[in-house]
Amino acid sequence: MMRRLYTLITLLFLALSPVFAQVTLKLQAPSQAEVGQQIRISYVANTQDIDDFQVGEFTGFNVLYGPSTSRSSSFSMTNGRTSQSSSTTFTYVVVPTSEGNLKVPAATVKVGGKTVKSASASIEVLPASQQQGGQQQGQQQGGGSRQQRQQQSQPSGSQISGSELYMTVTANRKRIYEQEAVMLTYKLYTLVNIQQISGEMPQIDGCHVQELDREAQLSLKYERVNGRNYGTAVWKQYVIFPQKTGKIKIPGITFDTQVEVQNHSMDPFDIFFGGGSLSQMVRKQITAPAVEIDVMPLPSPKPDGFSGAVGKFSVSASLTPEQVNANDAATLRLVVTGQGNMKLMKAPKISFPQDFEVYDPKENNKTQNTATGAKGSITYDYVVVPRHGGKFSIPPVEFCYFDPDKEQYVTARTDSFHLAVAKAKGQPVAYAREQEDLNVLSNDIRFIKLNELKSEETDDFFGTSSYWLTYLLLFLAFVAAFLWLLRQQKLNPNSWTVKGKKAGKVASRRLKKASKLLHASDDAAFYNEVMRALLGYAGDKLSLPTNELTKDNVIAKLTERGVEQGVVDSFIAVLSDCEFARYAPTSDANLAKEKIYQQASEVITQMNASMK
């Protein structure tokens, strides 16, 4: 009983839902057509309970038939929830009789005593395409659709001419400065039914090329050329940044296309019994012409701080925190915003105090390709570590670029920054002074009076027996020390040789200790242990004392030992990542530590294999 009641309520709700739903009436019509072409115009209402339908006058159109009424409805039930939709469509088939912008009239429907009106539309009507012979006469009589006339005029196979399918290329500028963006637009013109097209820009010597993102679906728009209405579409757009001056020739691009044409050789009886088709796909190659660009050099002399950027830019910067302890990290964030060759410019150089340890900036690129080059912002994060306490000043950051519109170099500047550094725990205070004046008082220096110097008589030691005895004792001590060193060398093996043989084992013990700190909260201890393993291994293996254990010395020694450059680069990269991670932790610290631990293990293994 309850189930039947539920079903009855559901059916009643579905029956009444159109009454409570908001009724709409939408007009569907093409945006373009040509004189004599049959086009379809539809008015779609989202209900079937329509009492009356009225439409205005089709001025400039010949109405072949209409309105043709069709209804559709759908019903679905998902997880106990039901939904229903229904619609009524009123369709007209009309033929434009004159060119220009013709207005499609609005229509009205009455639903439940209320009147709902659609919007009107405008169709751009082009003159009829110039055809030959009987086809032109048939077009003037308005007989057949555009598709039918197009299929009748389509050639087969290689008979497709260059006037029926071709590609053009245009440059938005032909004379530009070096590094300035120029956009090339490749546009398709077709009178045939094209199904597929492919082709890419080849490598261009001395140019950086970026392709603009476009919709994958090719949408044709009518354009009248030489008395014929072509279907046109922008197929590709490239932004090119010349890296050299002079005349640069952009080569032509060859596109492979697939065109559907009529198969005139097929017998209709064979087609009827499944032996073929009235249409076939043929291949056609079209080539866009080459373009020549005149590239002017940037004015000379270039400013010392020129970053290589060409376009329009602005800069902003921030320092966080503004108070730190010695050996703690601070970050200076520089944001460059604008448009131009942003993906090719260099990171600005910042004059930090000599007391600071500075790491390579990390870049965050948030740009997108446009007709004028990359547009957006690039963020540079400079991580610095002051080693001593004091008050430090960072001068304004200068970003120099070339503005092609102004034809001059422009320098954008930020404000200066001040950083207060407190002494590190357990270390003496070292104060940094911006300027120290040395005052020399006149009474601090006394002249030497030569007449007041008096010599004191002493015993003459030279040539005495004590003199010669002293020399003899020194000579005997030297001989004894030399003999002792020879004996020690025979008794004890070379300490550096021993360290070199044990370097791998020592590094393994330190890495094992680091592995115990992988999931601990003390990240600094983990990275310190990994760096000790790497630097200790390099020092023992290369016989380098601690005071000579620098990046340049390690690279030079590893190269002398015949270690591959890739292994050397990996070793230096792991060290840099460890040092950076100590002061700039990531959001997923455990994942970063596991990655660095794995890289350190691999690079030690590779170095050990290379230096056996």
Write out pLDDT tens, residues 431-442: 433 333 333 333
Task: Tell me the average pLDDT across 192-198.
Answer: 86
In this prediction, residue 131 has a pLDDT band, given cuts at 50, 70 and 90, of: low
Query: Do 275 and 325 fall within a single domain?
Result: no
CA dihedral 305, 308, 310, 315 (to 10 degrees): -50
E strands in 206-361: 207-211, 221-225, 228-242, 246-250, 253-262, 279-288, 291-296, 306-320, 323-325, 330-340, 356-358
Does 431 map to a domain?
no
In this prediction, residue 216 has a pLDDT band, given cuts at 50, 70 and 90, of: low
Residue 606 DSSP symbol: H
Domain of 100 in residue numbering reads as: 17-126
pLDDT at site 267: 52
Query: Do 256 and 234 fall within a single domain?
Result: yes
Task: Tell me the average pLDDT across 394-404.
Answer: 93
Query: Do 265 and 338 fall within a single domain?
Result: no
Alpha-helical runs (H) found in 55-192: 133-140, 146-153
E strands in 360-407: 362-370, 373-386, 390-394, 398-403
Task: Tell me the average pLDDT across 490-501.
Answer: 56
Does 588 map to a domain?
yes
Q: Which residue has the higher pLDDT, 188 or 608?
A: 188
In this prediction, residue 11 has a pLDDT band, given cuts at 50, 70 and 90, of: low
Strand partners, 89: 44, 70
Of 15-19, 285-289, 590-594, 607-611, the one with minimum mean pLDDT is 15-19
Residue 359 DSSP symbol: P
Instruction: Look at residue 20 and tell me whether its pLDDT is greater than 50.
Output: no
In this prediction, residue 407 has a pLDDT band, given cuts at 50, 70 and 90, of: very high
Does 205 map to a domain?
yes
The C-alpha atoms of residue 542 and residue 83 are separated, in whole angstroms, by 78
Does 326 map to a domain?
yes
CA 236 centroid distance within chain = 19
Burial class for 263, CB neighbours closer than 10 Å (0-12, 13-18, 19+): middle
Contact 313, 405 (CB under 8 A): no
pLDDT at site 490: 61
Write out pLDDT tens, residues 138-175: 333 334 444 444 444 444 445 788 888 999 999 998 99
pLDDT at site 134: 38
Per the structure, the count of domains in the chain is: 4
Alpha-carbon torsion 215, 217, 222, 223, what sign?
Answer: positive
Contact 286, 257 (CB under 8 A): yes
Contact 341, 181 (CB under 8 A): yes
Query: Do 177 and 119 fall within a single domain?
Result: no
Instruction: Look at residue 244 and tell me whether its pLDDT is greater than 60.
Output: yes
Query: Do 218 and 162 fall within a single domain?
Result: yes
Q: What is the CATH number of the domain that holds 257?
A: 2.60.40
Which two three-digit tokens encode residue 608? Answer: 């050990």
- Mean residue pLDDT across the chain: 79
Query: Do 227 and 290 fall within a single domain?
Result: yes
Count Cβ atoms below 10 Å from residue 321 Cβ, excluding itself.
11
For the whole model, what pTM was predicted? Answer: 0.54
Percentage of the chain beyond pLDDT 70 is: 77
